[in-house]
Each structure stands twice: as structure tokens, then as C-alpha cells.
Chains A and B, each alone.
Chain A
Amino acid sequence: GNSVTQMEGPVTLSEEAFLTINCTYTATGYPSLFWYVQYPGEGLQLLLKATKADDKGSNKGFEATYRKETTSFHLEKGSVQVSDSAVYFCALVGSSASKIIFGSGTRLSIRP
């Protein structure tokens, strides 16, 4: 079945550092891929998405490119801020499914 594997945390970086959180997936067909963010004490929010190969999703300085050849959707940001501290979830929806499958989440902490 479909699955998502993402980098285990926690990840701790200094402010203005470069961020990469790895995500790979297994799916048949052509899934849609997502990154969600969960700030402390809140529900999940959609951060960005990509619905076909080579698409790049971007939002709030974060980017991720849908790479079908490596079945990956890595999240990147060039210069992180303290306010980016949160848990990040990679997720997919299969081409014939109606439910979201989430990765295990990666906790990110940014030091001032």
C-alpha cells in the first residue's frame, strides 16, 4: 500500500541555517504530495503541495519539489527563523484514494 517515510527528529538548528527535511514515498499511480505543519498546541496546517511530477510547491520561504524518479518530496528552507519551530508532516493522497497518509512527523527546533 501507499506509505510515507520521513526523516526522524528532532532536528535542532540555529536561526538563519539551511533546512532540509527528507521525505520519500511509496505509491502506485500518481499521488499528490503535501507538507503540513503543526505549531505547538494547534492543529495541522497545509504548508505546501504538489500534484504532479516536477511540480514545486512553495510557501513562507519553504519549498519542495515532486521528484518521481527518486520518489521524494524533500522540504527545504534557505534561512530558518525561531518562528519555524514546529512539527512537520509529509503526506500523500493516492490517485484513487480519498484519505491522506501522513509520515511520522519531524520536530524542528530553531535556536535564536
Chain B
Amino acid sequence: DSGVTQTPKHLITATGQRVTLRCSPRSGDLSVYWYQQSLDQGLQFLIQYYNGEERAKGNILERFSAQQFPDLHSELNLSSLELGDSALYFCASSVGGRAESSYNEQFFGPGTRLTVL
């Protein structure tokens, strides 16, 4: 158990809908990262928040948005869903804000599996 929790575990919805995925980081971690894992795209970094502010952006679509709240939990909002958005979405957390720091290991949650029908 990494200490990172994600809800829900599974989500099934229809095209055009909007969903929200939730992530609670490990106690004491200030950074939250979101990743998408799909069969055709592999594992891709979406976005990072550090202490409530956006720190880095990856291949995140405009239909997707995220935020980190004062209690440090984060939500990933996916809207106007398409079939191709079906994937496993991971959240990770770390103490600091720089991924390359030796002391900034990222701990991954178990993921949310999103199925768009």
C-alpha cells in the first residue's frame, strides 16, 4: 500500500458525459501527479500540482482539467468523454515539486479504470 488513495476504482459512463476522479496523496506529500495509461498510448504524464498550484503540464487534453485543494487532495475532471478516453488513470504523490530530485520519489495510487461506452 503506497498510501495514495484513488476513488472510484471503476467508472463506466457514456460518450459526451463528464466525470471526476479523486486522489488523496500520502500524508505530508505536497505534489500530486496525474497519468493516463492506455493500450495504444502507453503511460503518459498529464499534469502536476504542487501545494495547490499547477507545476507542470504534459499531454493533457483541453477537455480535461485538474485542481488541487487546500487539504491537498486533487481532482481530475474529464468532460465531453470519447471512446478513446477509456483508460486507467493513475495519481501519484511526492514530497517535493521536482520529479528529478533524489528525495522526490513518486508514490502511485492503485488507479481508476474508466470505461466510456
Contact = CB atoms under 8 A, between A and B. Distances in A.
A104 to B, nearest CB: 5
Given A99-B45, A99-B48, A42 B102 contact: no
Nearest to B44: A102
Contacts of A46: 105-106
A98 interface: yes
B21 interface: no
B17 to A, nearest CB: 25
A89 B99 contact: no
Interface string B73-117: 000000000000000001010000111101001101111000000
Q: Which of B97, B100, B108, B111 has the most CB of A within 10 A?
A: B100
Contacts of B105: 46
Size bracket, chain B contacts = 20 to 34
Given A45-B2, A46-B105, A105-B43, A99 B58 contact: yes
A105 B35 CA distance: 14
Contact of A43 (B44, B98, B102, B109): B109
Interface in A82-105: 89, 93-95, 97-105
Contact of A44 (B44, B55, B90, B100): B90
A41 interface: yes
Interface of A: 31-32, 41-46, 49, 51, 89, 93-95, 97-105
4 tightest A-B contacts by CB?
Answer: A43-B108, A93-B100, A102-B43, A44-B108
